[in-house]
Structure 1
Amino acid sequence: MRTGMLTGLALGLGLAVAAPAHAQLKMAVAGPITGPNAAFGAQLKNGVEQAVEDINAAGGIMGQKIVLSIGDDASDPKQGVSLANKFASDGVKLVVGHFNSGVSIPASEVYQESGMVQITPASTNPKFTDRGMWNTFRTCGRDDQQGAVAGTYLSTHFKGKKVAVVHDKTPYGKGLADETQKTMNAKGLKEVVYEGVNTGEKDYSALVSKLKQANIDVIYFGGLHTEAGLIIRQMRDQGLKAPMMSGDGITDKEFVQIAGPGAEGTYMTFGPDARKNPEAKDAVAKFMAKKIDPEAYTLYSYASVQILKQAAEQAKSTDGKKIAEVMKSGKVFKTVIGDISYDKKGDITRPDYVMYVWKKGADGKIDYSGNEVGM
């Protein structure tokens, strides 16, 4: 899934057939194409590319073919802002991205100043849409919604047990862990360990020793699959069998490659599996024909482009503010992840989280697909 050949901040890809400049609409997708979160960057890129290909094949947006730029922010806020400025100077109108909340939030200010609509498939930190900006939208849910589901599950199924809350100190990871902690505390379950770790670390033996000493029964981790996988592997190596619970930041098969067999039994909050949505059938077939599994945020990214297309056509304009007005009007958009409508903040109006458990299937592979568990 990695695409390490993309080394520039933004690579213009001619996904549309040659056409006069006035008949082109510039769109961009931005995410971590390189670095430890490149698996998620690939999901965003794959989803947007397929949507653009399908829309262009059907005539584009109001007769304009989409020309797509791909930007690599490497999960770095400064690089994300630089990339946003590059898109602005290139005349990009619409942006799908970023992946990390810590990148989406500062980049959104550049997009707002430049009159660009930003729709993220993956950034869940509430601050992204809570600032009263006209241009910020997402196709995913929020950490306060996701944390409420996780905290409720912990307080119900691990009542009286010893819980550790660990996060990666990022706006996403700490935000999600704190929302989960808040909900479970309100429901009477208090953590025995609360700890922050640094992203990019390889040795978590000190953390694992602390968890073992506290005799924890379950660890809640707010963060991404790289750190989550390493923590699980090192927990198992040190004989700690407690399960981990985490959020949408681990929804990639690479999680299991990092964690190893100990990934089995991991709990995870994420939206309903979009691959099973009847509206996604044709798109899923196209991905599979290219040997791409449209897991996790792939279809959320595809849906982002669908929404932008429908909003522009209803607005009869590619002006960012006019598109945003349509998106916040309560209109229902038909997408591969189901019907989507927005509130005045730019958040989706439907609840979007369920609990999964990673299990070994008949093929011997550990996956979350089809393994929803009751609350």
Structure 2
Amino acid sequence: MKKSLLSAVALTAVMAFSGTAWADILVGVAGPLTGPNAAFGAQLQKGAEQAAADINAAGGINGEKIKIVLGDDVSDPKQGVSVANKFVADGVKFVVGHFNSSVSIPASDVYAENGIVQITPASTNPKFTDRGLWNTFRTCGRDDQQGAVAGQYIAEKFKGVPVAVVHDKTTYGQGLADETKKAMNALGVKEVIYEGITVGDKDFSALISKMKNAGVGVVYFGGLHTEAGLLMRQMADQGVKAPLMSGDGITSNELASIAGDAVNGTLMTFPPDPRQNPNAKDLVEKFRKSGFEPEAYTLYSYAAMQIFADAAKAAGSNDPQKVAEAMKAKGPFKTAIGDIGFDKKGDITRPDYVMYEWKKGADGKYSYFQM
């Protein structure tokens, strides 16, 4: 009798443990949750969390509820690899992240070796998907596409104007600057300055002096909003009136708080603002009511989570390998940023970059507006 009772208790314990294991599907959300790029990390986190809540409320993924595991990489490649290894140890099967290309690329190797699918909402360097890994996807476009738009704009709108190309020496920043340089060079525009700064630099006096001596009329910057804001503020203080143009790395309203009035007239490439999509109206209002403005990559992160869920349903399985196959074969998927399909590399099949200008809105605050 005692033996039977113990066996029953043991069986119940096993079933309870198994139930807990089967009840959740772990999704890692990784990005710079702290540090100078924390605004972007918040976008990835808030987007993924809201998507997980909405998917769970609708029944989860093939009957399993999403449980989010956060990883703070502080925009550092080494820390990103540490986050990736922790996700492996935790049993994560899907990852939304990272933000920086220099972090996403080495982290993706860890994920590929350990059966984890990764969708980055923000890493645009071509190398991320060009290596042919089975597990790499993105909901954003690529730097060669973005740079082509920027380079053509410079060639058409700043014809005969001396151009400076500046980058922050990172995988993303230099990669985007080089793609823009390549595109404008092909259209007959040769830069008068090509120079790199270091992430964390505060004083750009020497670089700005070179700009003044060269009579620079437009500056293309490959990098993030922290250095971009300081650079444009110091350019204005030192009398350089050339507008600064950059890419998706400055798509945060924090740029205006750093640059002040110098942000006025700044040009930027980014896809059409998903907040303006009528199909996302209710979702955008949901974010705003919670006190969070879903700018930039928020909805790209939300879309990544939607794709995981819909691809798993299409595959009839939550196995990462099968989900990855379905992501390429079963799309396009309906998401908060529109219909998304993937090619064999894991790149989206409808990249679309447009130009924005930073200026004051009706509320008197600086922000970016599609031109």
- Range into which the TM-score falls when normalised by the shorter chain: over 0.9
In 1, Cα distance between equivalents of 2:361 and 2:86: 45
Q: For each residue in 1:71-91, what CA deviation from the matched residue of structure 2 results, as whole angstroms up to 9, or x when unmatched?
A: 100000000001100000110
1:74 equivalenced with 2:74 (yes/no) = yes
Using the TM superposition, give the Cα deviation of residue 329 of structure 1 relative to its aligned residue in structure 2, in angstroms.
1.2
Kindly report which structure 2 residues correspond to 1:146-161, keeping only aligned pairs within 5 A, or say none: 146-161=146-161
Residue of structure 1 equivalent to 2:287: 287
1:48 equivalenced with 2:48 (yes/no) = yes
| Code of the aligned partner of 1:372 | Q
Using the TM superposition, give the Cα deviation of residue 195 of structure 1 relative to its aligned residue in structure 2, in angstroms.
0.5
| Counterpart contact for 1:165–1:195, Cα < 8 Å | yes
Residue of structure 2 equivalent to 1:8: none
| Counterpart contact for 1:267–1:357, Cα < 8 Å | yes
Structure with higher helix content? 2
Q: For each residue in 1:203-246, what CA deviation from the matched residue of structure 2 results, as whole angstroms up to 9, or x when unmatched?
A: 11111111111110000000000000000010011111110000
| Counterpart contact for 1:330–1:343, Cα < 8 Å | no
In 2, Cα distance between equivalents of 1:98 and 1:201: 23
| Counterpart contact for 1:279–1:335, Cα < 8 Å | no
In 2, Cα distance between equivalents of 1:264 and 1:317: 50
Using the TM superposition, give the Cα deviation of residue 59 of structure 1 relative to its aligned residue in structure 2, in angstroms.
1.1
Tell me the SS of whatever aligns to 1:105.
helix
Unpaired runs of 5+ in structure 1? Answer: 1-18
| Counterpart contact for 2:251–2:296, Cα < 8 Å | yes
Kindly report which structure 2 residues correspond to 1:244-255, keeping only aligned pairs within 5 A, or say none: 244-255=244-255
| Counterpart contact for 2:73–2:80, Cα < 8 Å | yes
| TM-score under structure 2 length normalisation | 0.94
Residue of structure 1 equivalent to 2:370: 372
| Counterpart contact for 1:165–1:220, Cα < 8 Å | yes
| Code of the aligned partner of 1:248 | D
Residue of structure 1 equivalent to 2:109: 109
| Counterpart contact for 1:224–1:249, Cα < 8 Å | yes
| Counterpart contact for 1:173–1:224, Cα < 8 Å | yes
Change (3 A) 1:209 1:330: farther
| Counterpart contact for 1:140–1:352, Cα < 8 Å | no
Using the TM superposition, give the Cα deviation of residue 362 of structure 1 relative to its aligned residue in structure 2, in angstroms.
2.4
In 1, Cα distance between equivalents of 2:165 and 2:349: 29
Number of residues of Structure 1 aligned to a counterpart in Structure 2: 353
After TM superposition, the structure 1 stretch with the greater mean CA deviation from structure 2, 90-99 or 271-280, is 271-280
| Counterpart contact for 2:311–2:330, Cα < 8 Å | no
In 2, Cα distance between equivalents of 1:60 and 1:120: 21
Kindly report which structure 2 residues correspond to 1:151-300, keeping only aligned pairs within 5 A, or say none: 151-300=151-300
In 1, Cα distance between equivalents of 2:318 and 2:351: 29
Residue of structure 1 equivalent to 2:363: 363
Residue of structure 1 equivalent to 2:11: none
In 1, Cα distance between equivalents of 2:51 and 2:242: 41
| Code of the aligned partner of 2:165 | V
| Counterpart contact for 1:173–1:223, Cα < 8 Å | yes
Using the TM superposition, give the Cα deviation of residue 21 of structure 1 relative to its aligned residue in structure 2, in angstroms.
2.3
| Counterpart contact for 1:98–1:120, Cα < 8 Å | yes
In 1, Cα distance between equivalents of 2:261 and 2:280: 31
Using the TM superposition, give the Cα deviation of residue 330 of structure 1 relative to its aligned residue in structure 2, in angstroms.
5.4
Residue of structure 2 equivalent to 1:349: 349
Tell me the SS of whatever aligns to 1:71.
strand
Tell me the SS of whatever aligns to 2:309.
helix
Unpaired runs of 5+ in structure 2? Answer: 1-18
Q: For each residue in 1:306-354, what CA deviation from the matched residue of structure 2 results, as whole angstroms up to 9, or x when unmatched?
A: 0000001111111111111111115210000000000000000012200
Q: For each residue in 1:277-301, what CA deviation from the matched residue of structure 2 results, as whole angstroms up to 9, or x when unmatched?
A: 1221221111011111000000000
| Counterpart contact for 2:137–2:346, Cα < 8 Å | yes
Kindly report which structure 2 residues correspond to 1:136-155, keeping only aligned pairs within 5 A, or say none: 136-155=136-155
| Counterpart contact for 2:62–2:318, Cα < 8 Å | no
Q: Note the aligned Cα RMSD (angstroms).
A: 0.8
